[in-house]
Chain A
């Protein structure tokens, strides 16, 4: 097996995860929050695949596929919510959307 060791992959994965987490915690636009969540999920995917390659079995890769499916559904719902909020002229700010009733 050639190429960089698993450590490098994990490093990139950690950097991506940190970026995503910071984005979720710091940004107020729901669109950006959603985007940051995707980054975090992909960071996890990267780690999964890296380990799968190191161990030489397909479990991690299968799991990464499942995560992608979940992420896609989540984005669909999330974007739907954002569109609905925009249509009702609600502020696109997660801090102000703090109650379940409109």
Chain B
């Protein structure tokens, strides 16, 4: 089972290196094939690994494989080692499978771009980084994958580096993630310090013996990393800006890689969080806050990709909520169904953007149902799955999360459940607002000049090449039926599968699940009805101008961080420049220079060139020496 996992890990890396090293010798299209095929090869490896695991005895479904030991100091051994267990196998399948479809789609989407080869090398690197993250067998390697994912996202968000906004967005994503990486790294250092081990089994076995403070600090540090990667409040502001990258990149970041890393970490490190229950609940609360906040902001966005981006934040909020109350299997289940329908939404949105020559503003869209019938169907399935309408994927997974919150009970459970239900209403509203705006109503005039980041695209006549349509089709099917992997009361293969690694703390009964489902579906339908009513009357859902502005400015988080971090830092720098750099450092250096020149000028006068005065000086000096020697004796 480890052979498949190693193959899965190394195939995308090989693809990335092959494209990078081949350089100009291959065409962009060939690079696309290399990237696509290696990613699907990774999926094949993951499948083999999964099947091996499936066939194994339940208690033997965990294998640590070390390629080589990099560092051995006393009892501490760190090396290139991967852990294959049900959780990592599930993640491997999601990452490489959905990732492969997205890379394939890119071949049609990016065709003709000047730097296609660079694009595909980065895509493969991204998939590799994420696979490394989920397969890592020790905390250090996890950190390596964590950092590589950040790097790859930086490279891809800023892929169109001639656009200043794209570069700024990439920088923002990188800085935000660096903040998370820092707390994560500190937590790792603390873990090594306290437990003297880095591999998961020994670390988690030792967690019980640590003091409360240490466990809380470690949990908080890991949570910081998870919040940044998964774009949860308060480290969420990079995600909407990351829409500056090409659309398939957004799909990859949102569906297969990157943002799911935080959820994976919460589940992977569940022993730490269970020892620090407060921090775990904090994660749930932050998830609930994010899901509401992102749902609200999504209501007022005009950019088709930004609406979907906020929906991702909102859905990841649900996953954090689930992981935070200990419903690990359910969290990963929602992660998987979300990967299906979110990749589907982005890729379908990519078809729309292609068709409209780069237009992303939904005010200029409309009436595309007749023009793009297949895309319309795909988008509708994705939207309904996002809103959680039965029997699509999102329905089963989201409602399982809500039911888990109900099962948790108490004030916290009730609050989380209320937030989740309200989120369902919001989801229904913003998802269908987008759907109606894009596909219904009148066909609008396009802007006279193509604009926006993807303006280079020529309008397609059909719905795009096969390489774009097939992945969309596959994802449509997955988004439609993916949720059937877990039907309350009937079977729970997926959640049980993950539950082998992370024993759930709460398990909802079938009755609770169907109860919350009814409520959630009713709320989602209410949201749909609201969106439809508003659309038919040509109005917006958020009618109050003040509320609109507040939401459009994303609740002023950017401004807040500007005032809280950027401005003080800039002011401090300016102050140091004015008060320290210029008067102390620069002037002292100038003084050394000009002082030397001055002394030199004075001394130069002695060298008159008059030979006789030299002779006189020498004679006088000798005389003095003689006198001194004689006198001293």
Interface residues of A (CB under 8 A from B): 21, 24-26, 28, 33, 94-95, 97-100
Contacts and interface: CB of A to CB of B under 8 A. Distances in A.
Given A21-B619, A25-B619, A98 B612 contact: no
B615 A28 contact: no
B609 A24 contact: no
Q: How would you classify the secondary structure of chain A's contact residues: helix, strand, loop or mixed?
A: loop
Given A26-B612, A97-B611, A99-B609, 18 more contacts: A21-B615, A24-B612, A24-B615, A25-B612, A25-B615, A25-B616, A28-B612, A33-B611, A33-B612, A94-B610, A94-B611, A94-B612, A95-B610, A95-B611, A97-B609, A98-B608, A98-B610, A98-B611
Contacts of B611: 33, 94-95, 97-98
16 contacts: A21-B619, A24-B612, A24-B615, A25-B612, A25-B616, A25-B619, A33-B612, A94-B610, A94-B611, A95-B610, A97-B609, A98-B608, A98-B609, A98-B610, A98-B611, A99-B609
Interface string B591-633: 0000000000000000011111001100100000000000000
Q: Which of B608, B609, B615 has the most C-beta atoms of chain A within 10 angstroms of its own C-beta? A: B615
B222 to A, nearest CB: 75
Interface residues of B, number: 8
B414 to A, nearest CB: 97
Contacts of A33: 611-612
A95 B619 contact: no
Interface of B: 608-612, 615-616, 619
A72 to B, nearest CB: 21
B311 to A, nearest CB: 83
A56 B608 CA distance: 45
A14 to B, nearest CB: 12
A26 B619 CA distance: 12
Contacts of B612: 24-26, 28, 33, 94-95
A6 to B, nearest CB: 19
A10 to B, nearest CB: 15
Nearest to B609: A98
A97 B615 CA distance: 15
A74 to B, nearest CB: 14
Contacts of B608: 98
A78 B619 CA distance: 21
Nearest to A99: B609
Nearest to A21: B619
Nearest to A95: B610
B521 to A, nearest CB: 100
Contacts of B609: 97-100
Across chains A and B, which 8 residue pairs bring their CB atoms closest together, nearest first? Answer: A98-B609, A94-B611, A24-B615, A25-B615, A25-B616, A98-B610, A99-B609, A25-B612
A25 B608 CA distance: 15
Contacts of A25: 612, 615-616, 619
Contacts of A28: 612
Nearest to A26: B612
Contacts of A99: 609
A98 B606 CA distance: 12
Contacts of B615: 21, 24-25
